[in-house]
């Protein structure tokens, strides 16, 4: 019975580490245009996931902190869309190490 109890405790502790982190990233818009959408996807995903922009519009020159909930890997692909429908993509950014600064160089 003790072995079963120990096994159960170990399984519970192991499952805690599998839970997703609540991460965040500071996003600065230096594109010269206002950003209306900010999509993130886990690295390697074939599709853009949710729009995580917490404000209606990220004005040029402004910075916003974006919450990324439910992910376990801190590496993301990020795509922003401006008022004209132009997109800016940054791939494989580790949000635990780096903030995100969008510039004209990131335009697709």
What CATH number is given to the structural domain containing 72? 2.60.40.2890
Strands annotated E in 1-108: 21-30, 35-42, 63-71, 75-82, 87-94, 100-103
Domain range for 55 is 20-106
Average pLDDT, the chain: 84
Residue found under tokens 């903030």 = 99
Question: Residue 95 pLDDT more than 60?
Answer: yes
How confident is the model at residue 55, as a pLDDT? Answer: 80
Is there a domain that residue 56 lies in?
yes
Is there a domain that residue 26 lies in?
yes
Is there a domain that residue 54 lies in?
yes
Averaged over 55-61, what is the pLDDT? Answer: 92
Instruction: Check: pTM over 0.95? Answer yes or no.
Output: no
Please state the domain count of the chain.
Answer: 1
pLDDT bracket for residue 20 (50, 70, 90):
low
Is there a domain that residue 14 lies in?
no
Question: Residue 15 pLDDT more than 80?
Answer: no
Is there a domain that residue 8 lies in?
no
C-alpha distances out from residue 33 to 61, 71, 105, Å: 9, 29, 13
């Amino acid at each position: 019975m003790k072995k079963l109890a120990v096994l159960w405790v170990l399984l519970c502790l192991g499952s805690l580490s599998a839970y997703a982190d609540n991460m965040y990233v500071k996003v600065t818009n230096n594109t010269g245009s206002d950003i209306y959408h900010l999509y993130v996807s886990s690295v390697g995903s074939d599709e853009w996931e949710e729009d995580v922009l917490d404000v209606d519009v990220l004005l040029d020159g402004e910075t916003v902190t974006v919450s990324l909930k439910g992910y376990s890997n801190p590496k993301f692909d990020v795509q922003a869309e401006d008022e004209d429908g132009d997109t800016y993509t940054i791939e494989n950014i580790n949000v635990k190490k780096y903030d995100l600064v969008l510039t004209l160089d990131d335009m697709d």
